[in-house]
Amino acid sequence: MPELSTSVRYIKGIGEQRAKSLEKLRIFTLRDLISYFPRDYEDRRTFRKIRDLEPGETACVTAMAAASPTLNRVRKGMELVKVRAVDETGALDVTFFNQTYMRDHIRAGEHYTFFGKAEVQGSRRTMVNPLVERENSRTMTGRIMPVYPLTAGISQLTMTRSVEQGLAACRDLLPDPLPDEVRRDHQLCHTGYAYDQIHFPDDENTLAIARRRLAFEELFLLAIGMQVLSRRREELSCAPLRDLDLTAFYGSLPFSLTGAQQRAVDEILADLASGRPMNRLVQGDVGSGKTMVAAAAMVCAARSGRQTALMAPTEILAEQHYKGLAPLLEGLGIPCALLTGAARAKERRAVLEGLESGRLQAVIGTHALISPDVTYRDLGLVVTDEQHRFGVGQRSALSAKGERPHLLVMSATPIPRTLALMIYGDLDVSVIDELPPGRQRIDTFAVTGAYRPRIYKFLAREIAAGRQAYMICSMVEENGADDRKAVTEYARVLQEQVFPQLRVACVHGRMKGREKEAVMAAFAGGEADILVSTTVVEVGVDVPNATVMVIEDADRFGLSQLHQLRGRVGRGKHKSYCVLITDNRSEETLARMRVMAQTGDGFRIAEEDLRLRGPGDFFGRRQHGLPALKVADLSWDMALLKEAQQAARALLDRDPGLEDHPLIAQRTRELFEASEGTMN
């Protein structure tokens, strides 16, 4: 008897070769197979009488083979089988190329259903290479067919037939992770039915029912996972930090905090004094001064004798934070170090030793901070910057290096409350909705490529005045298929043909960390006039002398991403500009470019982004650190998400340790483990 864990080799037609191909799709067992959902569907339910076939129409025709098929050899290697089929309205001439077996497959006088594209020439109706099956068999015709994402060596038909067999063998073995009462309360169908219908839906309604159930299940497990994490934190108590005096800190700043910064700091101080671990998200637009807010918390931790770790998503950003914070912290007598993957063995050893002994009170770095060999004497505060780039587990991994440390998360991406709950668990939120005084608007223009000569002239003038510029082109994608304007080539042309007298530097995501850093450092030091880049400059890099941001193919970026990029200029005292180049004239693009030109308010831009694109794309691909959702799509399942969150909360209230729901516990673990594996 097959089980869910039985190898796919069990399926008829799946031998060693195809099993190998299926492995590429991560399909090993029957459970994997039937959990491999279609990406789309083809509706083959339209039946036509022969006379009613429209030219070019794809439809099913049920007709009788009027005579035995004939076989013609047109030329070497090309065989035609022809057969005439008739119904009460007319005749259909069917031709098969290189499917010689059709000659024996179709018998005169029998009824078949043909599915294919009809051609009409005068009164003659024809189909070439249609699908054929006996009338009423309805395995490939007369129904909605799944369309699967494929891989070499596996055809759509093989996939479809395999899944069909897989379902027949073990649909009834699928355990249902959803408790009966949850299913009842939220009107969700059974697992087996959902699996049947997601692959082979009877109609649109049953497909919707199946989708809703499976999406709910995903969101429910996700919500359980997030809530378990946050409940675990809530139960904890910890000694309040004993010294929250920030007088010296305020005194050492060259400016006073904005009202919004001060509010955030006060909220943090209240958390730190509460006797429970802080769990706070600070959201603030680019340039709103989040770093200083984090610094205030770091100072409190250090004064109370506890260590701080600040984790940034890239080496460049970690280094910049270090350069900005180290003088401030050390000026206050707080020893501080940088730890990234680029550290030499000797430096690294010194930092590790300092953290272990407690000599270092603050460390700023990348993922290197969560390496297994990093131990802290007494980690009291964890700060993560640009959080949506980290997986949930990475944040926990850093927290796990301390005894219930306080957690502060900084994000420049404003997100709606429901999504925030999903991504950050039950974090408290502080919003910095005010920029430091004296910031000027970044003038933003959207133009077509025809304006390039004028833009180049403008760049030349700015650079002659001593400024610097960024030029961003589309990302070099992981698969290399999409680098329309590969950065290096773009930079070369710019250097050789447009600006031979200027210094053009170039940085992209495929460069090694250290290489990248060297280029960025050179640009920051004024050794290059123009930095051609992919979006690696998106996060937090600070070059106050740069005043122009030119973005090629601007339509290919999300609004929030454009806003982040734009935030790289206007960081000094000089008037700054952003030029968005796109030849895409679609309504949507024009609307998005208009938003960019009209407002500099990141929260408004995020709202518009969400409205125009939906949260599915909101963060860019998989940047939010959530497990990948197979069925649920946050852009239209918001209501379902709320329902799932409620159900998760209710279940955890009844069974906080999930002792009575081992399957839910297991599935949740699997979901999060899978996501950690794919995060970078």
Size of the site for Mg ion (CB under 5 A): 1
Nearer residue to ligand ADP within complex by CB, 377 or 575: 575
Here the tokens at position 170 are 């073990």
Q: Check binding of 284 to ligand ADP (CB under 6 A).
A: yes
**Which positions from 583 through 622 interact with ligand ADP, judged by CB under 6 A?**
none
Q: Check binding of 261 to ligand ADP (CB under 6 A).
A: yes
Q: In whole angstroms, what is the distance from residue 679 CA to residue 627 CA?
A: 9
What's the closest the beta carbon of residue 321 comes to Mg ion, in angstroms?
8
Burial class (CB in 10 A: 0-12, 13-18, 19+), 451: middle
Here the tokens at position 651 are 């279940």
Name which position in 365, 380, 540, 602 contacts Mg ion (CB under 5 A).
540
The DSSP code for 7 is B
Region near Mg ion per CB under 5 A, out of 37-45, 215-223, 417-425, 540-548: 540-548
Q: Check binding of 286 to ligand ADP (CB under 6 A).
A: yes
286 binds, among ligand ADP, Mg ion, none (CB under 5 to 8 A by kind): ligand ADP
Region near Mg ion per CB under 5 A, out of 351-359, 538-546, 548-556, 572-580: 538-546
Q: Check binding of 393 to Mg ion (CB under 5 A).
A: no
Nearer residue to ligand ADP within complex by CB, 516 or 568: 568
Query: In this structure, how many other beta carbons lie within 10 angstroms of the beta carbon of residue 611?
Result: 11
Name which position in 65, 257, 316, 352 contacts ligand ADP (CB under 6 A).
257
What's the closest the beta carbon of residue 540 comes to ligand ADP, in angstroms?
6
**What mask of x and - would describe binding to ligand ADP in positions 394 to 413, judged by CB under 6 A?**
------------------x-
What's the closest the beta carbon of residue 297 comes to Mg ion, in angstroms?
14
Q: In whole angstroms, what is the distance from residue 408 CA to residue 379 CA?
A: 13
Name which position in 165, 288, 361, 534 contacts ligand ADP (CB under 6 A).
288
Region near Mg ion per CB under 5 A, out of 393-401, 461-469, 535-543, 666-674: 535-543
Nearer residue to ligand ADP within complex by CB, 212 or 290: 290
What's the closest the beta carbon of residue 576 comes to ligand ADP, in angstroms?
13
Region near ligand ADP per CB under 6 A, out of 279-287, 463-471, 494-502, 641-649: 279-287
Q: In whole angstroms, what is the distance from residue 200 CA to residue 37 CA?
A: 10
Q: In whole angstroms, what is the distance from residue 392 CA to residue 7 CA?
A: 32
What's the closest the beta carbon of residue 287 comes to Mg ion, in angstroms?
8
**Which positions from 419 through 438 interact with ligand ADP, judged by CB under 6 A?**
436
Name which position in 35, 126, 283, 291 contacts ligand ADP (CB under 6 A).
291
Nearer residue to ligand ADP within complex by CB, 254 or 677: 254
* CA distances from residue 411 to 237, 298, 426 in whole angstroms, order as listed: 26, 17, 15
Query: In this structure, how many other beta carbons lie within 10 angstroms of the beta carbon of residue 477?
Result: 13
Query: In this structure, how many other beta carbons lie within 10 angstroms of the beta carbon of residue 243?
Result: 13
Here the tokens at position 342 are 């680029």
- Compute and round to an integer the Cα radius of gyration of the chain: 31
Nearer residue to ligand ADP within complex by CB, 215 or 257: 257
3-class SS of residue 94:
strand
Cα maximum dimension of the chain: 98
Burial class (CB in 10 A: 0-12, 13-18, 19+), 95: middle
What's the closest the beta carbon of residue 258 comes to ligand ADP, in angstroms?
5
What's the closest the beta carbon of residue 263 comes to Mg ion, in angstroms?
18
Here the tokens at position 44 are 């083959």
Q: In whole angstroms, what is the distance from residue 566 CA to residue 584 CA?
A: 20
Nearer residue to ligand ADP within complex by CB, 251 or 500: 251
**Which positions from 513 through 552 interact with ligand ADP, judged by CB under 6 A?**
540
Q: In whole angstroms, what is the distance from residue 403 CA to residue 498 CA?
A: 57
One DSSP character per residue, 25-57 reads TT--BHHHHHT---SEEEE---B--GGGPPTT-
Look at the alpha carbons of 388, 390, 393, 394 in this order and tell me if their dihedral is positive or negative.
negative
Name which position in 162, 197, 258, 366 contacts ligand ADP (CB under 6 A).
258
Region near Mg ion per CB under 5 A, out of 181-189, 304-312, 539-547, 597-605: 539-547
Q: In whole angstroms, what is the distance from residue 593 CA to residue 128 CA?
A: 47
Taking alpha carbons only, the member of 431, 432, 409 closest to residue 313 is 409
**What mask of x and - would describe binding to ligand ADP in positions 227 to 256, judged by CB under 6 A?**
----------------------------x-
What's the closest the beta carbon of residue 283 comes to Mg ion, in angstroms?
12
Region near ligand ADP per CB under 6 A, out of 157-165, 288-296, 298-306, 602-610: 288-296
Helices and strands (H, E) in the chain, number of each type: 23, 22
Size of the site for ligand ADP (CB under 6 A): 15
Name the H helices within 358-479.
Answer: 392-399, 417-424, 452-464
Burial class (CB in 10 A: 0-12, 13-18, 19+), 16: exposed
Q: CB nearest ligand ADP: which residue?
A: 289
Nearer residue to ligand ADP within complex by CB, 310 or 463: 310
Q: Check binding of 310 to ligand ADP (CB under 6 A).
A: no
* Amino acid at residue number 522: A
408 binds, among ligand ADP, Mg ion, none (CB under 5 to 8 A by kind): none
Taking alpha carbons only, the member of 469, 444, 436, 437 closest to residue 600 is 444
283 binds, among ligand ADP, Mg ion, none (CB under 5 to 8 A by kind): none
* Residues near ligand ADP (CB under 6 A): 255, 257-258, 261, 284, 286-292, 412, 436, 540
Residues that bind Mg ion (CB under 5 A): 540
